[in-house]
Amino acid sequence: MGEAYKLDEMPDGGAGTLEDMPKIQQVAGESAGPSNSTATTPHESRNRIPNRVTTLTDFRIPPRSRAKDKVVIITGANSLLGIGRAAAHQFSRNGARAVFVCDFASTHLDAHACEIRSLYAGVDVHARRFDAADEDAVRSVVDEAVEMYGRLDVFFANAGVATGRVFGDVSAEDFMKTLRVNALSVFLAVKYASKAMQRTSASKLQPGGSIIGTASVAGLRSNAGSTDYSASKAAVVSIAQTCAFQLGGTGVRVNAICPGLIESGMTKQTFDYARSRGTTGKLGQLNPTRRPGVADEVARVALFLGSDEASYVNGQAWAVCGGLSAGHPFVPGKLA
């Protein structure tokens, strides 16, 4: 949704350091599951106010169980404002054994890894730079995870690019580039992660895992993105549904997440432009929630889909759009 840019062109600033990292915006309260600690964390009560956007505070989270011992690969994790970074935090704070944060751009990857290590005890964080649509690279990171930990549990295929051009201005070459990054990357994630997830080891006695592809409401409804972007995101939904059936009986689940208008690296200039004009109140006005979303709200859905709590959720497209995809947008009073 919104005007978007290639990952290596996102206006996130220069080389990132831990000190310069912005806090992750949150709307909901604590996501972590049960732990040995029953204490309320400093931001739990503060975050229970509906629709209040807060930030992730700097304190060490006690071990949690929602993603306990899971090995997780996340692509599209470089952006400071992105869903990938937010998801890496959610899996880490919920007990993941290891998280691979991956992207073609590497400006902030090392800083992300340092930040996660400083906040969450017991999680190994690995920053990897590669093209998520490169078959050898995807196979390599999957093999590395299995070699290091004897298992792979979650692959969040979140890499993506987009343009805001109308179809007449999109060349055939650009159309295929968009499909390559947005759709082929998800296909490759399913192809190689599903094989690895079926392996068992001393630390993983039962086969299975969760593969999550980032699609979009643009893949569900028209007029929510450019033609090439929308086509690629519809392909992600189809890949998830088709592969879920072809992987039947293996214990591997495949689902798609379909974000609406989310403030992220991909939409940063749209939000900055609205702020400069004083029109931020118009952002998200077409959905019944009457606001745009933040990356953490999508990351929490990824956490759920990657957890055992979603063990009966398979082959689905989860819209995280404030209700935008539930109806046909209209301007009140102007139906005719």
Lowest mean pLDDT among 101-110, 238-247, 260-269: 260-269
User: Which domains, ranges and CATH numbers included, belong to the chain?
Assistant: 71-263+294-320 (3.40.50.720)
Is residue 26 over pLDDT 70?
no
- Least trusted range by pLDDT, from 26-35, 70-79, 170-179: 26-35
Arithmetic mean of pLDDT, 54-76: 73
Q: Which residues carry out catalysis?
A: 229
Q: Which of 192, 189, 152, 144 is nearest to 71 (CA)?
A: 152
Higher-confidence residue of 268 and 179: namely 179
> How much is the average pLDDT of 212-231?
90
Q: How far apart are CA 37 and CA 9, in angstroms?
A: 43
CA 213 to CA 241: how far, in whole Å?
A: 11
Among 57-61, 230-234, 250-254, 261-265, whose mean pLDDT is lowest? Answer: 57-61
> Which is higher by pLDDT, 332 or 241?
241
pLDDT at 7: 34
Local structure of residue 41 (DSSP, 8 states): P
| Residue 25 binned pLDDT confidence (cut-offs 50, 70, 90) | low
- Record the tokens describing residue 243, joined without a space: 């592969």
pLDDT at 98: 98
Percent of the chain with pLDDT over 70: 79
pLDDT at res. 290: 86
223-241 pLDDT tens trace: 778 899 999 999 999 999 9
Q: Is residue 295's pLDDT more than 90?
A: yes
| pLDDT for residue 165 | 84
pLDDT in tens, 30-62: 665 554 443 333 333 333 334 445 455 444 444
If one compares 289 and 43, the residue with the highest pLDDT of the two is 289
pLDDT digits (tens, 9 = 90+) for 269-288: 777 777 778 877 777 778 88
| Average pLDDT value for residue range 174-190 | 97
Q: Which residue has the higher pLDDT, 203 or 285?
A: 203
Tell me if 128 sits within 8 A of 141, measured CB to CB: yes
Q: Could you give the C-alpha distances from 166 to 160, 219, 266, 269, in angstroms and in order? A: 18, 16, 18, 18
pLDDT for position 199 = 96
The angle subtended at Cα 231 by Cα 182 and Cα 172, nearest 5°, is: 85
* pLDDT value at 77 more than 50: yes
Q: Determine the residue type at 92.
A: S
DSSP 224: S
* Mean pLDDT lowest among 94-98, 141-145, 281-285, 319-323: 281-285
Nearest to 214 by CA among 284, 330, 288, 295: 295
